[in-house]
Chain A
């Protein structure tokens, strides 16, 4: 859709280089991941969390369907899918969020350090998610 300010007489303006001209790298991946995980938690995560809180406040009869869908049906498969997905999203968004704090103060823009930091956020999110669910399912 043409933006209102663009009249037929407007000249072609130089555009900022985007997706297609760049070689993919860790910094690009974690930048995209930060957005996807934030948006995923904000939509899917919000629905699950609000359903859970409303179900608790409604009493046993309203908690039953929540418990059934996430913890009983198909051996709790839906609960594992959403639970592990949201946990991974959270730890990834947490790590890239902290990465943002560093970038905000102008730190870690050198190529090697930035690359290492980007990779570290993904290693952290996978390890933390594995540890969290190992604790939930095995230790307890």
Chain B
């Protein structure tokens, strides 16, 4: 570490202005995923059945809806970072830009659908939603 200004070295962000942010976010979300995904597998295993009434009743409880929302946020951010590395490793030139754009559409779009679906179930108080 002999280059750059002292302030630059203290900030430790390097020439890309990002430092280890991507790497660290991948780790933070990995740790969150560990808890949330283990919870999810246990919750799925403990459901008595997988018909509509049972799974809807389960998802409408805050005890399922809130961890599910956290799971979507953490897992989708985590795999967005992970797939970015995959694309950077294997796709070069102009095609890389298209793939990275497609990745953002996929991860943000699918997360929006998932979050909307969870909230819709959680906020529908009685009976079956219309449509």
Known contacts: A46-B110, A49-B114, A67-B51. The answer to whether A41 contacts B92 by CB under 8 A is no
A110 within 8 A of B: no
Q: How far is the CB of B83 from chain A (nearest CB, A)?
A: 6
Known contacts: A1-B92, A42-B83, A132-B45. The answer to whether A94 contacts B114 by CB under 8 A is no
When distances are taken between beta carbons in the complex, the residues of chain A under 8 Å from B56 are 56, 63
Number of interface residues of B (CB under 8 A): 36
From B30, B50, B129, give the contact of A59 (CB < 8 A).
B129
Chain A window 4-42, contacts with chain B (Cβ cutoff 8 Å), 1 for yes, 0 for no: 100000000000000000000000000000010011011
A50 touches B113 (CB 8 A): yes
A60 touches B82 (CB 8 A): no
Closest A-B pairs by Cβ, 3 of them: A42-B79, A57-B117, A53-B117
- B: residues with CB less than 8 A from A are 27, 30, 33-34, 37-38, 41, 45, 48, 50-52, 55-56, 59, 68, 76, 79, 82-83, 86, 92-93, 106, 110, 113-114, 116-118, 120-121, 128-131
Residue pairs across A and B with Cβ atoms less than 8 A apart, 6 shown, are A38-B79, A50-B110, A54-B117, A56-B55, A67-B52, A87-B41
